[in-house]
Amino acid sequence: MNYLSVCSGIECATVAWKDLGWKPLGFSEIETFPSDVLNYHYPDVKNYGDMTNYKEWKINEAVELVVGGTPCQSFSVAGLRKGLEDPRGNLALTFCGILDRFRPKWFIWENVPGVLSSNKGQDFGSFLGALVELGYGFSYRVLDAKNFGVPQRRRRVFVVGHLGDWRPSAKILFESESLRGDIKESRKTGESLARSITASLGNRQDATADNFITKAYSVREDAKANNFSATELEVSTALQAQRPSVQSHHAQTFIAKTKVYENHGTDSRIKEVDVSPTVTARWGTGGNNTPLVHEDFVRRLTPIECERLQGFPDNYTNIKENCPDSPRFKALGNSMAVPVMKWLGERIQAYETE
């Protein structure tokens, strides 16, 4: 499988898919430290930089899959919920332009759960509407890294798409029990967002790389008029039995009932947990953002421990002598969790070879 990675960060996908024999055709990352990590580990793979320049990219081989998690700030509570009015949020629509440019058979898109409710679901509806116009079927689901063998609570929305048909994507994201309707009932009610958007678009097939953003905003207005809502799906319990094998040091990072500081500063308190709180890009920036654990004494988490919490090999981000901790924490906090991406890749591989 030849793939293109955008918003690559430190390249979770390539670490996850190494054993599958998949080939990265290019990366797209603009931040300095993650770019240095990419160059250190993958010197032969071109980093195309700014993803908004995708029309200029010269890739000679066919792109079979595009993967990326566009910036989440505009879709999260911390990002002031500006949604698609924030230029960072519009990169979700740039992602659609990349799909239109390279026409991959598959795509994987990741974001924070806040994307489901941003602007009452209309922002996510705009994104899904653009996918429909480009001819992609898709499924989406909330997955938590703690169910894949790493001791970290990290819930993320994953959208898996397949050109021309939604059923392959459903087979990737959902177990057979879920497809038969056995999945635990959602905590929220409402129409199926995908079905509603498909009905509103009809059979329009006139989207191009130059006009899809306008059409996506048109879908947003349709969504507002029809009061569409995004439905958050529960993770099936069957996922536990199907999670990939994990190296033992991941499970040992947080021993059962490890004590961590739930909050810092004047409101600090110790709490016993089975898994780590979500690794964030703010960790290691000082003040209340220092990740602390309580053993016989209070200490901060190390970058290696955070690499393990995300499923990366030890010292993956330690790319030079005396490498500072702060950019390592930030890069890891912005990354996807490796075991989750590995699970998705393995399921796509199984589907392609069945």
Q: Are 224 and 261 in contact (CB under 8 A)?
A: no
Summarize the confidence of residues 258-274 as an average pLDDT: 49
Residues 249-265, mean pLDDT to the nearest whole number: 44
CA dihedral 58, 61, 62, 67 (to 10 degrees): -70
Amino acid 295: pLDDT: 60
Top-confidence residue, 268 or 93: 93
| Short-list 301, 303, 307, CA closest to 324 | 303
What pLDDT does 177 receive?
59
Better-scored residue on pLDDT, 244 or 24:
24
What is the structure's pLDDT at 179? 47
Q: Is the pLDDT of residue 218 over 80?
A: no
Residues 6+ apart with CB under 8 A from 287: 264, 265
Q: For 57-86, what is each residue's pLDDT tens digit?
A: 999 999 999 999 987 666 555 544 565 666
Active site residues: 72
**The pLDDT of residue 276 is above 60:** yes
pLDDT at 274: 59
Q: What is the pTM of this model?
A: 0.73
Mean pLDDT of 290-302: 67
Q: Of residues 45 and 214, which shows the higher confidence score?
A: 45
**Residues in Cβ contact with 225 at an 8 Å cutoff, skipping those fewer than 6 apart:** none
Does the pLDDT of residue 250 top 60, yes or no?
A: no
**Is it the case that residue 231 has pLDDT exceeding 70?**
no
Look at residues 315, 261, 254, 305 and name the one whose alpha carbon lies nearest to residue 287: 261
Average pLDDT over residues 150-176: 92
Residue 351 confidence (pLDDT): 96
For the chain, percent of residues with pLDDT exceeding 70: 61
Work out the number of other CB atoms within 10 angstroms of the CB of residue 141: 22
Per the model's pLDDT, the better-predicted residue between 180 and 243 turns out to be: 180
Tell which residue, 157, 69, 146, has the closest CA to residue 334: 69
Q: What is the mean pLDDT of the chain?
A: 74
Of the listed ranges 2-11, 48-57, 176-185, the least confidently predicted one is: 176-185
Q: Please, where in the chain does CATH 3.40.50.150 lie?
A: 2-240+338-353
The pLDDT of residue 158 is above 90 = yes
Residue 332 pLDDT exceeds 50? yes
| Res. 204 pLDDT band, cuts 50 70 90 | very low
Tell me: pLDDT of 213 over 80: no
For helices 87-102 and 122-133, angle between their N-to-C axes, nearest 10 degrees? 10
The whole-number pLDDT of residue 245 equals 34
Contact 223, 124 (CB under 8 A): no
> Residue 190 pLDDT more than 80?
no
| pLDDT tens, position by position, 116-139 | 988 888 888 888 988 999 999 999
3-state SS assignment for residue 65: strand
Over pLDDT 90: what percentage of the chain? 48
In sequence order, what are the residues at sequence separation of 6 or more whose Cβ sits closer than 8 angstroms to the Cβ of residue 308?
150, 249, 250, 253, 314
Rounded distance between C-alpha atoms, residue 51 and residue 40, angstroms: 21
Fold (topology level) of 2-240+338-353? Rossmann fold (3.40.50)
Q: For 304-315, how does the pLDDT look when each residue is reduced to its tens digit (9 = 90+)?
A: 988 998 999 999
